[in-house]
Amino acid sequence: MNFKKDAFITWKLSAPIILGELTQMALGIIDSIMVGKISYQHLAAAALVNSVLNIPFVLGFGMTMSISQTVSMANGQKDESKVSHYLFNGFWLCTIAAVIIAVTLHFSKNILFHLGQDVEVSTLGAPYLQIMGWSIIPMMMFISLKQFADGLERTKTAMLLSIAALPINILINWFLVYGNLGFPRLELTGAGYGTLFTRILILLIFIVVLFVNPFFSRYIAVRKKQWIITLQTIKELLHIGIPSSLQATMESGAFAVSSIIIGTLGAIQLAAHQIALSCASLAFMVSWGLAQGGSIRVSNALGRNNWRDIHLIGKSTLASSLVYGILGVAFFISFRNYLPLAFNNEPTVMALASVLMLFAAVFQISDASQVTAVGLLRGIKDVKIPTLYILIAYWVVGIPIGCLMAFTFKMGAAGMWIGFVSGLTFSAVFLNYRFFKLLKNKNESLSE
């Protein structure tokens, strides 16, 4: 198989993952856009809550990645019983983690008042935080099922459900955020209920699909023997899930902490940061979906013990991510003055957001290539050293440089974004170096 054909296979597998992730991300973007029309304080409150939610949510989300990796390996070995076993254990492991996160968030709403934020922003955000916390339960249950389907390279199922969620969420928000057609005007709280109801609905639909679709039902059919929670399987899932969770949490946590730090500079700075970060996050979902597709293919090849395929998949996926990163640079530079208009019309917010878009453009290549390397390394079950690299990239390089530029050099929110660029570049260089070094060592050992 040649290089271009292999890249096409990865994109074909990744495209539904990308579209599904973009639509899931869009649920939060929709909340920001709709409440941003009320006031920039509401937009800042949504930004604050999303920053606080990001750390526990991504911690749980990282846990779900172990499902796609183990399912993909078992699928490569053509072991349907093991696939079903991983589904059951992974689903309940993620559900328990989600419940713990939701309960913790429910009793932690007052944390918003201890982060040095604008009091009005914290007051608006507290009830929204609680509702969004409970919505993590159906969301993580849905994602665990999605990872199962993705691991079997059936990526379109979750994509279609995610797309269907968008108009549902918009409609419920239209009722509850603005109080249309006699519904109570709940504003930001209404956006939270809209997300919660939407996530519950698509989860229930996904469960029905798994039981009635002929492709998935064969894995359900062996449930009497395979749907047993075993300590060995939980350990195997945690071996991948915990480092993956830590990796994702350290990255998202760095952005979340940066948002909180920027919030101490005022609501306008935080609102502008939220606009730029929302756009950058949407762009990142394409890179993440591509990385996930590459990771699934690598895991499948690992199950077949085919290192030649792993090498080809790795090179073609990285090349694809670099091309996408270059396109991202051009897009953000070209539309930096127009994208903020979708969120807010406050002139000072829009002006600052357009500046931050330039920094978002700068890190597109680094962001795309580093997340691709993380996915490829996870596909060959190399998760511990990459976790250390990510820790250094964001918390030793990124955050300190950002704070230095923001406060010592008085650059404000722009200074924190310089920290983002620095951390992502460090991560991209060292993670890609490790992946190709491991491949070289493996090829040398096989040739001996």
3-state secondary structure of 306: coil
pTM score of the predicted model = 0.81
How many residues in total does the chain contain?
448
* C-alpha 289 chain-centroid distance: 9
Q: What is the DSSP letter of 412?
A: T
Nearest to 144 by CA among 109, 184, 99, 190: 99
Tokens 């085919």 sit at which residue? 306
| All residues at 6 or more sequence positions from 58 whose CB lies less than 8 Å from its CB, including other chains | 245, 248, 249, 251, 252, 253
As to burial, measured by CB atoms within 10 angstroms (0-12 exposed, 13-18 middle, 19+ buried), residue 154 is middle
DSSP state string for 170-206: HHHHHHHTTTGGG----THHHHHHHHHHHHHHHHHHH
Signed CA dihedral, 136, 251, 350, 333: sign only: negative
Tokens of 387: 């976790």
Distance CA 168, CA 177 (A): 14
Tokens of 51: 């920053």
Distance CA 75, CA 304 (A): 9
3-state secondary structure of 256: helix
3-state secondary structure of 78: coil
Per the CB < 8 A criterion, the answer to whether 310 and 298 are in contact is yes
Alpha helices in 336-398 (DSSP H): 347-362, 364-379, 384-391
Nearest to 190 by CA among 388, 34, 424: 34
Tokens of 243: 């480092």
Nearest to 34 by CA among 196, 198, 194: 194
Distance CA 244, CA 250 (A): 10
| All residues at 6 or more sequence positions from 279 whose CB lies less than 8 Å from its CB, including other chains | 332, 339, 357, 360
- pLDDT tens digits in sequence order for the chain, 448 residues long: 588 899 999 999 999 988 887 887 777 777 778 888 888 788 888 878 877 887 787 788 888 889 998 999 999 888 999 999 999 999 999 999 999 999 998 888 788 888 777 788 888 888 999 999 999 999 999 999 999 999 999 989 888 998 888 899 899 989 998 999 989 898 888 989 998 999 999 999 999 999 999 999 889 988 889 999 999 999 999 988 899 888 888 887 788 788 889 988 888 898 899 889 888 988 998 999 999 999 999 999 998 989 999 999 999 999 999 999 999 999 999 999 999 888 877 889 999 999 999 999 998 999 999 999 999 999 998 999 999 999 999 999 999 999 999 999 999 999 999 999 999 999 999 999 999 999 998 887 876 6
Q: What is the DSSP letter of 398?
A: I
Kindly calculate the radius of gyration of the chain based on its CA atoms and give it in whole angstroms.
21
Burial 369-380 (b: 16+ CB within 10 A, else e): bbbbbbbbbbbb
Per the CB < 8 A criterion, the answer to whether 90 and 147 are in contact is yes
Torsion of CA 170, 172, 175, 176, to 10 degrees: -110
3-state secondary structure of 38: coil
Phi–psi pair at 415, nearest 5 degrees: -65, -40
Q: What is the DSSP letter of 409?
A: S
